[in-house]
Amino acid sequence: MKKKTEIYEKDFKYELLHGFTSLCVKLFYRKIECDGLENIPEDGAVIFAPNHCNAMMDPMSILGTYKGRMVFVARADIFGGALAKIFEFLKMMPINRQRDGIRNMVKAEETIEKSIEVLDNDVPFCILAEGTHRTMHSLLPIGKGIARIAVGFCEKHPGKKLYIVPVGLEYGDYFRPGTTLNVRYGSPIDVTALLGDSEGGTQLARMNEIRSLTGEGIKKEIIYLPDDDRYEPSWELVKVASGKVPGCKPALRSEAGRKAAGKLAAFRDEHPEEAAALLDEARGFALARRKAGISLHSLSGRLSGLSVVLRSLLAIVLLPYVAACAVSAAIPLLLAEYLCHCKFKDRAFHNSARFLIMELIWSVFFIIEVVALLICNLPLGIACTLILWPAPYVVYRYVESLRRLLSSWKLLGHKEIRKSYEDLCVKVENI
């Protein structure tokens, strides 16, 4: 009888899928920049701890920027029926949370033991430490799972090094495809040394310290804003502050956003009344520009009637190619949008649905189309293979460019919004 392949062992089929997934991630985002890979230790076991802000796109983003093998955990309630086999093939394990009930805590212990086994076999382990996703630039409390795995590993292997690497994921937009992505691998937390220095404390205290350090480490790698009633205007001000950095440079824009968030937090502490007035102004500005259908992308760039006209002409020139792409990928595109708008109420899952359908369904459709064309007309089949293979991604990016183009046309007739934006830029720079 053939021995079952362990989740941490090499699997040729998975290696192929990993490479293909990395390619699809690069196609799905307009621009990806990854920082801090040199921070990943090579002298011990590693747990990756990214923030969880964009559903399934978070593990996909890690897979797209890390070349080695890795095992993930995901909350157990999504492992149902045939999905359990699919997730297992994707090197994902279910983990039960305390809220899932006492009966499931036994399964949680099994997952922790399996996680320790993964680490013991020198395969990195990735856990979305917040436990649930939320499309905000903040951080939920770090769950107990990561601390239990870390403490359990160190107790079982006292002579082996273990590190937790905080990871920051910053998306240009949580809900639109074809945006940007910045992945930041932060400074590792030496768990072995930490637990060695706190041997006298209780296990609960040691676990809480691991959770606290992990949370602080993640905050350093993301644009962190307090989760309060001023979150939305605070985020508007951060976008205004970082908007001068071109969108094609997500790492620099992310850095500008982190600096702006830090300055704003200090300003709120030191000058609460002035900060409240500025946040009220930002709230009013955001409402006005959204009502007018104007994006911050249009406001942050150089606007002229000539540039808008030239962009419009380019959109017209590209339309036949985009139309061919839309026809070629019509079924996967329609299926993805049907699921997004009719089935998934949580918008955080929209890009996940689009990505998985493009990776799986579109790939099958594309192979069928190409084989049919190659049989009927070899030159045509080769041409279509070269031209249409990125079809759905081309459509999504074209739609996004049209949205921005329409915003620019609207902005030409809204000088007062431009004036408000410039005033806000000056005030943000002076805080």
Tokens 């985009």, located at residue: 322
Q: For residues 255 and 360, state if they share a domain.
A: no
Looking at the structure, tell me whether residues 200 and 248 fall in a common domain.
no
Average pLDDT over residues 279-288: 95
Burial class (CB in 10 A: 0-12, 13-18, 19+), 236: buried
281 and 199 inside one domain: no
Structural domain boundaries enclosing 381: 305-413
Tokens of 391: 């079809």
Total domain count for the chain? 3
DSSP 3-state of 90: coil
Q: What is the pLDDT of residues 135-186, one digit of tens each?
A: 999 999 998 889 999 999 998 888 789 999 999 999 999 999 888 999 999 9
Does position 276 have pLDDT exceeding 70, yes or no? yes
pLDDT for position 76 = 61
Q: Residue 336: inside a domain, yes or no?
A: yes
Of 431, 410, 31, whose CA–CA distance to 240 is shortest? 431
Give the pLDDT of residue 244: 79
Q: How many CB atoms lie under 10 A from the CB of residue 139?
A: 22
327 and 401 in a common domain: yes
Which tens digits make up the pLDDT trace of 341-382?
888 888 888 998 899 888 888 888 888 877 887 788 777 777
Which token pair is 2?
């053939």
pLDDT at 405 over 90: yes
Confidence class for position 69, pLDDT limits 50, 70, 90:
confident
Q: What is the largest CA-CA distance in the chain?
A: 75
Chain CA centroid to CA 61, Å = 6
Give the mean pLDDT of the chain.
86
Instruction: Give yes or no for a contact between 352 and 56, defined as CB atoms under 8 angstroms apart.
Output: yes
Task: For residue 300, tell me if it sits in a domain.
Answer: no
Do residues 48 and 125 touch, judged by C-beta distance below 8 A? yes
| Statement to judge: residues 86 and 172 lie in one domain | yes
Per mean pLDDT, which of 14-28, 246-260, 280-294 is the most reliable?
Answer: 280-294
Of the candidates 117, 113, 119, the residue with the CA atom closest to the CA atom of residue 192 = 119
Lowest mean pLDDT among 29-43, 166-180, 383-397: 383-397
φ, ψ for residue 46, nearest 5 deg: -130, 130
Residue of 234, 293, 282, 287 whose CA lies nearest to 262: 234
- pLDDT score recorded for residue 248: 73
Helix axes 82-89, 12-28, angle to 10 degrees: 90
Residue 313 has pLDDT above 70, yes or no: yes
pLDDT for res 1: 46
